[in-house]
A and B are shown apart, each in its own frame.
Chain A
């Protein structure tokens, strides 16, 4: 079984290839170099998030679209009457608002995977708190997050900048990367690890990854496998396990790619032929 992990050199190569496509799209990614050796990808973007504001004593808020929720919050608020209280029930309003995001893609030596760090602030410059970030997670992932939020997104010190960032936990990266890497290995093709990984983690925290990344960004050039191959019970000799070398790191022109370089679909696509046995329509199912 091929390693699901990423070495730092391949990380950099994948990032550079992603960067090239980002430049062509004006998508906003940049490479930041720190300490002369370590670098990371960075991008800022506006998105939506759920932010909270404390209601005043009349129960009013400046936000027009608000939901009133009673939340259990743990804090030491200087305005709090109960000075020594550890927790209180506070009426807050939660509303959808524009949020400024800053995303960083770093390489983690300990996990041997990329890690997504990000911070979020309102347009007034107030940093979102952890609970607001949890509330802002895409609904597709919210149930799983609410089950164990501390396992998913927490705050940590940025390894290179030393500032407080939110981070999407990387412990189980291999679980969702495995199907892609395994299929690539079986089909003797490579993938751009960062593009695949970003397509999974980005949408969780509001980072849009246009479809063209998944078709236009090439894989890194093949390098001799540096990760130790475990003793394999397969009869194949180890030399046949690594991928055949790609011809060049240039955008693949020979492999079948959709003609469009933008996320918009081509207008002249053929209609699917109607087959006699109609598959069931996807709808709601009881239970």
Chain B
């Protein structure tokens, strides 16, 4: 599986066959194109030292999930689950901007995350 970050507008389900575009990882982008995401750990899942992130609206849940997984140095047998409103899990292809507009409050989107050995 590719370890490269996705560009914000790219949504793909297959292994990438074209070179990845580098992600902007500085705060230089227009503020209107980014949203604030607050990440909260659930249960025994490690807490990220930095909880609040500025994320491009077009970024997918999968991209965010990959980022958190790498940040937490998760093992191959572990799966990360992300929850919105602590009531459902967003589709990996969902854009965080859409989630923010539907479920954001106080100017941020709160996402809970949990690592587990599910499925099995």
Residues of A within 8 A of B (CB): 48, 50, 96, 138-148, 151-153, 168-169, 171-173, 175-176, 178-180, 183-184, 187, 191, 195-196, 199-200, 202-204, 208-209, 211, 213-215, 258, 260, 263, 265-266, 269, 271-275, 278-285, 287
B interface, size bucket: 35 or more
Closest to A179 in B: B42
Q: Are A175 and B24 in contact (CB under 8 A)?
A: no
Residues of B within 8 A of A204 (CB): 119
B83 close to A179 (CB less than 8 A): yes
Which residues from chain B sit less than 8 Å from chain A, CB to CB? 1, 4-5, 12-15, 23-27, 29, 31-32, 34-37, 42-43, 50, 52-56, 59, 61-62, 64-67, 70-71, 73, 76-79, 81, 83-94, 97-104, 107-108, 112, 114, 116-120
With A139-B1, A283-B5, A284-B25 known as contacts, the answer to whether A147 contacts B118 (CB < 8 A) is: no
Answer whether A281 and B119 are a contact pair too, CB < 8 Å, given A140-B65, A211-B102.
no
A171 to B42, CA, bound (A): 20
Q: Give bound CA distance, A281 to B50, whole Å.
A: 11
Give min CB distance, B44 to chain A, whole Å: 11
Known: A176-B81, A200-B89. 7 other contacts (CB 8 A): A138-B13, A140-B61, A179-B86, A272-B36, A279-B36, A281-B55, A282-B59
| Structural contact, A281 and B14, CB atoms closer than 8 A | no
The answer to whether A200 touches B81, judged by C-beta atoms less than 8 angstroms apart, is: yes
Q: Given A139-B62, A180-B83, A281-B54, do A172 and B120 touch, yes or no (CB 8 Å)? A: yes
- On chain A, the residues within 8 Å of B76 by CB distance are 143-144, 146-147
- CB contacts (< 8 Å) of B50 on chain A: these are 279-280
Flag if A179 contacts B29 (CB, 8 Å).
no
Task: Please give me the residue from chain B that is nearest to A210 by CB atom.
Answer: B91
**Which residues of chain A are within 8 angstroms of B27 by Cβ–Cβ distance?**
278, 280-281
Asked if B71 and A285 make an inter-chain contact with CB atoms under 8 angstroms apart, the answer reads: yes
Closest CB-CB distance, A1 to chain B, in whole Å?
Answer: 12
Indicate whether A199 sits within 8 Å of B90 (C-beta atoms), given known contacts A143-B76, A265-B101. yes
Q: Is the CB of A172 within 8 A of B102?
A: no
CB distance B93 to A203 under 8 Å? yes
Are A196 and B87 within 8 A (Cβ)? Answer: yes
Tell me whether B5 and A284 are in contact (CB under 8 A). yes
24 contacts between A and B (CB under 8 A): A48-B13, A139-B62, A140-B62, A140-B65, A140-B92, A144-B119, A146-B76, A148-B77, A171-B119, A172-B119, A180-B83, A184-B87, A196-B88, A204-B119, A211-B90, A211-B99, A215-B102, A258-B103, A274-B31, A279-B36, A280-B54, A282-B55, A283-B23, A285-B67
Q: Considering only CB atoms, which chain A residue lies closest to B1 in the complex?
A: A143
Partner of B101, one of A152, A184, A269: A269
Name the CB-closest residue of A to B14: A96
Chain A residues, CB < 8 A from B32: 271
* Cα A243 to Cα B77 with chains together (Å): 35
Q: How far is the CA of A199 from the CA of B104 in the complex (A)?
A: 19
